[in-house]
Chain A
Amino acid sequence: MPERIVIQPVTRIEGHAKISIYLDDDGAVSSAQFHVTEFRGFEKLCEGRPFHEMPGLMSRVCGICPVSHILASSKACDNLLGVEVPRTAVQQRRMVNLAQLVQSHALSFFHLSAPDLLLGMDAPPEKRNVFGLVERDAEFARRGIRLRQFGQRIIELVGGKRIHPSWGAPGGVLRAIGEAERDEIRGWIPEALESAEIAIGRLKGVLDSMAIEIEHLGNFPTLFLGLVSPEGGLEYYDGVIRIVDGEGNAVAEGLDPQRYLTYLGEASEEWSFMKFPYYKPLGYPGGKYRVGPLARMNVARFAGTPRADREMHEFKQRSQGAVCESFHYHLARLIEILHAIERIEEITQDPDLLGSNIRARAGQNRNEGIGCSEAPRGTLFHHYQVDDNGLVRSANLLIATSQNNLAMNLAVEQAARYFVSGRSLQEGMLNRVEAAIRCFDPCLSCSTHALGQMPLVVELRDAGGALLDRARRG
């Protein structure tokens, strides 16, 4: 009888997510699953509500990336009004979206991943956290914290609040900003650029020693999907969808996000609450794709800002085709931080940022609205159907983390096959399985393992279900 190892994060919300590793009769890993057992049902909560509330309501989906949901939601609502959003509002939205990217990526890298990467996967768990990092290199850790603050500060200055700003609205944004805000943002730029480049240098410096992890933590070909500008550069707010395969060949170009249902499907599995999106023309599960930083590096041909272009060019040399190693999500994230800071600087130079025309007004002109933007973790879609009185009939959210679901499952399985062996559990081995997940920075657990370590309960059971070994951390 096959055995099953369960790795269950014990989070503040019980039953969040867990990893099951199935052993065959010889004790070797036969397969693994990454389950999401939590169901929040946000779509259900929206039903019957006036669509104008959606940006504010949707910002509550997530405490880490509320801005992404505000944006996708506002864009879906712009669509329901059928208006063109004034340039000032667009520039504000773009800037806040990039700031969100910086703060979220900085959290992922400096707080959650850097301890593993820079202190080593086999470092003792009590040291392998952000405090251990501070001990080892206080200046570097401080830069990470400041980089995150930079992002949060922009959200606060423009959005009026750091965590759940009620700022985005159908047709635009709620408040204009002035010179004082803009100048404060500008003041942060030189330090932020420097910190991003230092972090990139540090990560590149340790990659050679991580060859085994790079090889075995989610290294396989899949499709990659993301928004690009009409010219094919990095794009986070608007644009068209581009899909490339593992060789880097374009599978689809210039897809309209409004028509996502024609090319993206969602499968369900009874063992997980999270859906399994796939690229329809290749079927399920053959049409598995990845989104997020790595995908964006693969689908965009260039960054469009000088410093990020240099790094992106070098990044693309890491592979003949697309970069398929999920481990490189980390480096991709840092390059995106650099790019976002450069873009934010550009936006602060646009006089239109300070305009007072911030909202297009109109009644409801459509019954269906779709909004799409790039969230830190990948492409995000909000899709609303509303009745003639503007009440939401149904809402569908296609979130980044679920689009990476198939790839995350594969990555866990690959890591388990390589690193898990025998009938007892070792810290280093569980770390690597967890690190496979962390490459994707899935949003469901980030708020609960802020010390850089997922709290885990690991159980090893024999064929009869009796407990053989149990490990607990966090």
Chain B
Amino acid sequence: MSVKTLEIDGKMVTGMAGETIFSVAWEHGIHIPRLCHIGGISDVGACRLCMVEVEGQRKLQAACLTQIEEGMVVRTDTPRLKAHRKLIVELLMAERNHICAVCVANGACELQELARSMGIDHVRLRYRFPVFPVDTSNERFGMDHNRCVLCTRCVRVCDEVEGAHTWDVFGRGAGSRIISDLGEPWGASESCTGCGKCVQVCPTGALFDKGKTVAEMRKDRGFLKYIVTAREKKQWIG
């Protein structure tokens, strides 16, 4: 496999052909914000938080989907990108009912942490306050659509790692919703194995352990790397 050299934020870096800008940047300590990407499963480019500027290209590129090329010049942190990212986070907050103070994930939520790191102390857009249900029909877990950012991490981990493909996306636009099986309550799903992988990878308070109170939900993602390494390299190391 060939090695490629490129420039990210003024730094010369190298990566293997086929690697994405996102992963090469992270390997070199340049932490591009992300929400839908999580190592170990495929990328879909749903959130657009990882957008970067590539010299010679008019459009912004999603770093998690764009492969590196020899001689590329990439910028990840320009004022324009910062403004876009900030707006995306605000749009996500305003689209559903994000009230961190009373959320199970308060203090351990990737969306909240993004907002914090961008200095978002209020949302400039009007909240839409949609009416979304909470599905607590599963014995051990709950799904709160009010906190879902439609990143589809749950859909992918369930399909690609667990192999159950319980989750999918239903509807269009802001009205889209994650559904289990063909729209049955989670508790009635025949495909769900109850493994809880979706709960752990979910970046927000949308998927949670039932019985958790405000600010009590904490997620553990270590399993993903363990399973993927075991599967790909036949090495069982934590």
Contact = CB atoms under 8 A, between A and B. Distances in A.
Interface of A: 48-50, 52-53, 55-57, 60, 164, 166, 169-170, 174, 361, 363, 389-391
B216 interface: yes
Given A164-B101, A166-B106, A52 B212 contact: yes
Contact of B102 (A53, A174, A389, A391): A53
Given A56-B102, A57-B102, A391 B213 contact: no
25 contacts: A48-B133, A48-B134, A50-B136, A50-B144, A52-B104, A52-B210, A52-B211, A52-B213, A53-B102, A55-B213, A55-B214, A56-B214, A60-B101, A60-B102, A164-B101, A166-B106, A166-B213, A166-B215, A169-B213, A174-B213, A174-B216, A361-B211, A363-B211, A389-B137, A390-B136
A166 B136 contact: no
Interface residues of B, number: 19
Task: Specify which of B101, B106, B136, B144 lies most central, judged by the most chain A CB atoms within 10 Å of its CB.
Answer: B136
Nearest to A389: B136
B216 A391 contact: no
Contact of A166 (B210, B211, B214): B214
A387 to B, nearest CB: 9
Contacts of A166: 106, 213-216
Contacts of A50: 134, 136, 142, 144, 210
Nearest to B205: A53
A38 B72 CA distance: 60
A14 B97 CA distance: 25
Given A170-B213, A174-B216, A53 B136 contact: no
Given A49-B134, A391-B136, A169 B216 contact: yes
Contacts of A57: 102, 214
Contacts of B137: 389
B101 A391 contact: no
What are the nearest 5 A-B pairs in CB distance?
A56-B214, A389-B136, A166-B215, A169-B213, A57-B102
A361 B140 CA distance: 13
Contacts of B142: 50
A174 B214 CA distance: 10
B93 to A, nearest CB: 18
A53 B133 contact: no
A367 to B, nearest CB: 14
Contacts of B144: 50
A389 B187 CA distance: 10
B210 A390 contact: yes
